Structure 1
């Protein structure tokens, strides 16, 4: 949960978490409006978030980070390895952003069984790095601030310990490349090297 005590000027504000339903509704609405155009999905999310109160934008950032951490699982990493042919820190993070950007059903199904991604994947790289910055851009629009300080969503979320870059521990059991065909057989059949 992201219950935050942050400071806007001299006034301390208690910032509650954005509930899961509201977070996923924003993601789904932007995805639907974008018709498969990721740049449009990003722009729609920024526009939607900029209409909210700054505290809600921070709540979105916190919820996003919670889901990025939740998706940090060796099976998700294995899926990315099969699809892209390699795994490294940044692409793995951007792949998890893409996964969140697909909406709640795809995200939840993938966490339960990463092989379910076979049904939503096409050839090509799956990444949505821009999702990491939508709250910051919306916050800038909403508050008029251009210099990032401790009140910005990314900084508030980091101060609350929601770090997807540092100290996060990947969940589940690690794998070797030779295990991938049996670990995720559907994805392997679709994307794996024969």
Structure 2
């Protein structure tokens, strides 16, 4: 799955109304991915990890705990490509997510749930980029 397909899938699955914590988005994404070849599920996981990794930077940290920072970054991704790219261009766009503690933790588990629906097995996955907070050493360098 390439970057454009990743963002298009998120857009296609996003509800029309507000869903800041991706409570409606994530089941729709899981359902859609569970109908796809396994390669798209793994591709989605890679693109999700890459997006979260790009947001793992000190200018977005706002003194959040590791988990809070991860879940807040996930909310930015769940908000779609336009918001994600705005945050990359201007860290101030991230601030409302951090100060209001808008979290989309459940987005992190979409590939795992889709994988299990397809294979019937748990997925012990690794991606090229770690989405864990503070793993982007370049983003935290002085």
In the aligned structure 2, how far is the partner of 1:70 from the partner of 1:117?
A: 13
Q: Which residue in 1 is equivalent to 2:18?
A: 36
In the aligned structure 2, how far is the partner of 1:130 from the partner of 1:41?
A: 9
Q: Secondary structure at the match of 1:134?
A: helix
Q: Write the mapping of 1:168-187 to structure 2, written as runs, cut at 5 A.
A: 168-169=136-137, 171=139
8 A contact 1:23–1:60 mirrored in 2: yes
Q: Which residue in 1 is equivalent to 2:69?
A: 92
Structure 2 residue 104 is matched with structure 1 residue 128: yes
TM-score by length of 2: 0.85
CA offset at residue 116 of structure 1? 3.0
In the aligned structure 1, how far is the partner of 2:76 from the partner of 2:43?
A: 19
Q: Which residue in 2 is equivalent to 1:163?
A: 130
Q: Which residue in 2 is equivalent to 1:7?
A: none
Q: Which residue in 2 is equivalent to 1:75?
A: 59
Give the unaligned 5+ runs of structure 2: none
In the aligned structure 1, how far is the partner of 2:29 from the partner of 2:73?
A: 17
Give the unaligned 5+ runs of structure 1: 1-17, 175-194
Q: Which residue in 2 is equivalent to 1:23?
A: 6
8 A contact 1:61–1:135 mirrored in 2: yes
Among 71, 82, 92, which residue is 1:105 paired with?
A: 82
Structure 2 residue 36 is matched with structure 1 residue 59: no
- Bigger Cα Rg: 1
In the aligned structure 2, how far is the partner of 1:74 from the partner of 1:167?
A: 11
RMSD, matched Cα: 2.4
